[in-house]
Amino acid sequence: MASIRFGLLGTLRVTCEDREIRLGGARQRAVLALLLLRHGRTVSVDELAETVWDGSPPPTARTQISICVAQLRKLFREAGVEGEVIVTSHPGYRLDTEGHGLDLVDFLSLTGQVSALAGSGRPAEAADAYRRALALWRGPALDGLPGYALEQEACWLEEQRLTALDGHAELRLALGRHQELTAELAALVREHPLRERTRHSLMLAQYRSGRRADALETFRTGHQLIVDELGLEPGTALRELHNAVLREDPAIAAPTTVPESFAAVAPAVPAAPVTDQEPQDREPRDQPQDQPHGRPQDQPETSPTDSPGGAPADRRPTLSLAPSDLPPNIPSFTGRSGETEVLDALLDGRPDGAPPRVALVTGVAGIGKTALAVHWSHRAAASFPDGCLHVDLGSALATPGEVLGRLLRSLGADDRLPEGEASRISLYRRLLRGRRVLLVLDDASSFAQVAPLLPANGGCCVVVTSRENMDELVLRHGAVRVPLGVLDHADSTALLDRIVTGGRTAGSPAQTARLAELCDGLPLALCIAAARLATRPHWTVRRLADRLADEHRRLDELSIGGSRVRASFELSHGCLSPRLASVYRRLSLLDVPDVPAWAVAALLDCPVETAEQYLDELTDAHLLEVSGPDATGQYRYRFQSLLRLYARERAQEDPDRPAAEAARDRALHSWLTVAEAAHRREYGGDHSVVHGPAPRPHVDRDLLDDLLARPLDWFDSERHCLVAAVTQSARLGLAALAWDLAASTVGFCEIRSNTDDWRRLCEEGLAASRTAGDRQGEGVMLGELGAALLYRGESEASVRLLEEADAVLRAGGEVYGAALNACKLAVVVRQRGDAGAARALLDGALPALRAAGDLSAQAHALNNLAQITLDAGDSQEAVRLGREAVALARGLGATRGAAQAFHRLGRALLAAGRLPEAEEALTEAAGIVRAKHDRLGMAYVLLGLAEARLRAGRAERADEDLAAAFALAEETGSTVLLGRLHLLRVEIEEARAPGAELPQEA
């Protein structure tokens, strides 16, 4: 039987018995490539379509995919292959490679053998396995196949090739083949200049070939490139190899024998003298606890500079040269002017006996802590004539004693270092006594790690960078805290401009701003994005911004040689306790812009105090931001957008996804609990709203009292979250929650004249109801959407929706909902000139409203009847109806319904010429709306008061009311009200003219 050989490691290639099978067009090749990449696994038709059409498949995609598969099967049969190579497997297809060959499978098999071969003492065979694997490559993987998905696969394959090249080089170095490697590695470094592992091998090969100067130059050029392109320091391994080359460390010399195991293959570079371990609580003392070398306790410790003859023990050691091992400055450093000023304050001198000046730079990984510390250290170096020291405390595992050893050597103490840690602390502090030295302790993980390294005198200055808040450092050593947040818009775009040359960012300011926003102002993300543009001169800024716009791709795109942004976040996430990490992941499941502690308590099903503790811990870890308090006194917590994406990725790995999703749904439902209570307090009861069967989680009564002391303040604080909660509920198929929460919220949107949110809430609730077949929700949302459009002046669309709502509600037997809808329809019918139809709608609705005990809706209906009567010229009947509405509304308390009733009564009294009574009623309304901060309601009341006072002959006072009403109307954007105010202004000006008569009500 003929067999096929497939090739992915280069251009897509298919051969049968050494004869090439010619493939069809790009779609056919893309389908085959994806099936080969997933060999042995089913690929859905949807995934094939997404890949072939790069995320935008046409309606005929499924048909065209089946045509491509049929054509491929035909090609294989014509080549003499028996059986199906491409098997139909629901929900798509699977490529069966049994009996056939695939270069990718061979490559992965060979590279997978390396560890076992090297580990069993056969490094030469391991190197040969790498050689044979790399020989399978014919060029760039998947060369010539377009589309994002295949491009990402090609990047992964290229990374596998480069990893194999690096591993092969390291094995050959361990086998002593450094001479043959230098030219090969130099070419590879030129092709991939930011790949540190390859540069490491080249430096080692050059050094072992007797080219020490070339090895140092390879480091120097790489260091400069990494700093220029990324604004980052090279990794620990590269820096430590550089130090080893400088001191000609025997550990990196060429091997004299072939290593016996894989453990000997990796380059032997001494570990940096730093630690991630936290030593036990031992406060440094001037006298050591142990007695190294058997020295008696009362014998003074000998300093490293004491002569063998026994110089005085109290002689202070001298520094022959001022040490400086700061990393190079950051050319692309941008912004941070405020933080730099805080650090500049450390330069104020202190007496030698005072404690050292200490700053603690904190923030999430990738925020630029090291960059600020290094930049400022170079700026301030002239103020420290005795040296500047830098220690990377997060780069490797080492004891505090080893860190002190490195610092002591930097300070000139090269000989006879004390063995004990306490002795080294004592010597270290003696060496610094009277000196002005700057010490940068970078990436510290704990106070215990930093404490032994603090100098004892005020001439020295210490800058600590950490993801931890280190309260002990602040409390015990007076450290000045310098918290770092994301860069603002101006600094973000400036950073991109600095790294991307050629005016590409300046030439596309809008897209550059968009790119900066997508990078969240995070310096690491900005540097990586800029580096991608800098190394791809054919890319436009828009192209990269478009790629980042897809949230599913963003963290993958922000990577160079590995997912750096994701990896940096992992550092912070990895420090969380399992419970706190679970809280962090579950928080990300809520699609809200920020979240208060009470909603988090619902999410976690715990007391609010416990939720606040979790939130504070996540804020301390710089994984959340806090703002507030809001108008209700609550602090609000939010993710940066990139951190939210990372947390959601981790949430997908939650071992108990059903519990996590149940927690998310419980939190969403808690907004309904509070929104319903807010509506009830604002309307004096559960009035003017239809509710559905969605569950209401319990919220503590005392908490509700605190949150809803002023319901409108709660709405103002929670508005964006309410819209987001309705939107997410609709997307999740929680239709009953979506429409009920929308119905409980739209009344506040009306009060605040927020028609955009009002409309969106109703549209989301309506779509969810229709998808779920929830006729009750559909009817309610149609009516509320009709009211929103009426408020926006779209009367024709409003009538159409309200009439459709009436039909749906009546068909479902929703009598109360139909009555509420009739009141809305009456308003628009009256405005369109059909007073009789409006009166009939209101008269028909009142019995159902009375049966439901809805005082607010009854008062609203009577108010509208009063207006219809007033329009007909019967002011006395309007007054009667107005008083009836006020009587009902008084039973509700100081609600908006009561304010509307008093306002309508005041207008009727004004029309009847009963000016003192009219002013009294309008003043009652003013008191209610003023207390509620109802700006639009206050503007209407002021309009009525201005008219009443003008007709009473008090034009000056009327003018004051009118000016205040104008300001509020302009603030709320009510064009209808502004028109009425302009007309009244003309009347007032005419009334104030000499000899003018006061206007009379018609």
Average pLDDT, integer, range 882-891: 91
Could you tell me the strand order of the sheet in which 388-392 lies? 388-392, 438-444, 461-466, 357-362, 480-483
Higher pLDDT, 654 or 450: 450
- pLDDT band at residue 274 using 50, 70 and 90 as cut-offs: very low
Contact, 393 vs 275, CB < 8 A? yes
Angle (deg, nearest 10), helices 509-518 and 541-549: 30
CB-based contact 359:463 (threshold 8 Å)? yes
The three-state secondary structure class of 15 is strand
Provide the mean pLDDT of the chain.
86
Beta-carbon contacts of 161 under 8 Å, excluding residues fewer than 6 positions away, are: 9, 134, 137, 141
Quote the distance between the C-alpha of residue 972 and its chain's center. Answer: 32
Q: Please provide residue 912's backbone torsions phi and psi, each rounded to the nearest 5 degrees.
A: -80, 0
pLDDT band for position 560 (cuts 50, 70, 90): low
Chain segment 802-859, per-residue pLDDT in tens: 999 999 999 999 999 999 999 999 999 998 889 999 999 999 999 999 999 999 999 9
Residue 583's pLDDT is what? 95
Angstrom CA distances, 774 to 669, 805, 945, stand at 18, 13, 46
3-state secondary structure 713-768: HHHHHHHHHHHHHHHHHHHCCCHHHHHHHHHHHHHHHHHCCCHHHHHHHHHHHHHH
Looking at the DSSP bridge assignments, the partners of residue 87 are 94
Residues 6+ apart with CB under 8 A from 189: 195, 198, 199, 202, 218, 222
pLDDT of residue 278: 31
The residues that bridge with 444 in the sheet, in sequence order, are 466
- Asked if pLDDT for residue 303 goes beyond 50, the answer is no
Q: Which of 557, 568, 562, 570 is nearest to 530 (CA)?
A: 557
**Which residues have CB under 8 Å from 191's CB, separation 6+?**
none
Determine the Cα–Cα distance for residues 583 and 651; give it in Å rounded to an integer.
Answer: 10
Q: What is the DSSP letter of 575?
A: T
Cα–Cα dist 665/593, whole Å: 17
Asked if residues 293 and 419 have their Cβ atoms less than 8 Å apart, the reply is: yes
DSSP state of 349: -
What is the distance of C-alpha 774 from the center of its chain?
35
| 12-71 per-position pLDDT tens digit | 999 988 788 988 888 999 999 999 998 888 999 988 998 898 888 888 888 889 889 989
Residue 232 has pLDDT above 80, yes or no: no
Q: Which of 62, 63, 76, 61 is nearest to 24 (CA)?
A: 76
Nearest residue to 565 (alpha-carbon basis) of 369, 330, 366, 370: 366
> H-type helices in 381-450, by residue range?
400-410, 421-432, 447-450
Chain-centroid distance, C-alpha 319: 48
DSSP 96: -
355: Cβ contacts below 8 Å, ≥ 6 apart:
456, 458, 477, 478
Q: Which of 716, 711, 764, 773 is nearest to 741 (CA)?
A: 764
Q: Is the per-residue pLDDT at 375 higher than 80?
A: yes
End-to-end CA distance of the chain: 103
d(CA 34, CA 94): 10
pLDDT tens, residue by residue, 721-767: 999 999 999 999 999 999 999 999 999 998 888 899 999 999 999 99
Q: What distance in Å separates the CA atoms of residue 366 and residue 389, rounded to the nearest whole number?
A: 22
pLDDT tens column, 694-717:
999 999 999 999 999 999 999 999
- Confidence (pTM): 0.65
Please report the sign of the dihedral spanned by the C-alpha atoms of residue 941, residue 942, residue 947, residue 950.
positive
CB half-sphere exposure, 315, CA atoms < 13 A:
13
pLDDT band at 257 (very low <50, low <70, confident <90, very high): low
Residues 292 and 418 sit within 8 Å (Cβ to Cβ) = yes
Report yes or no: 921 and 901 within 8 Å, Cβ to Cβ.
no
Asked if 768 and 739 touch (Cβ cutoff 8 Å), the reply is yes
Q: What percent of the chain has pLDDT over 70?
A: 90
Q: Which amino acid is at 174?
A: A
Provide mean pLDDT across the span 667-680.
96
Cα 978 to Cα 823, 905, 934, 939, 969: the distances in Å are: 26, 22, 17, 10, 6
Residue 496 parent element (H or E) = helix 489-499
Backbone phi, then psi, for 545, in 5-degree steps? Answer: -60, -40
pLDDT band (50, 70, 90) for residue 994: low
Q: What does the radius of gyration of the chain's CA atoms come to, in whole angstroms? A: 38
Confidence of residue 580 (pLDDT cuts 50, 70, 90): very high
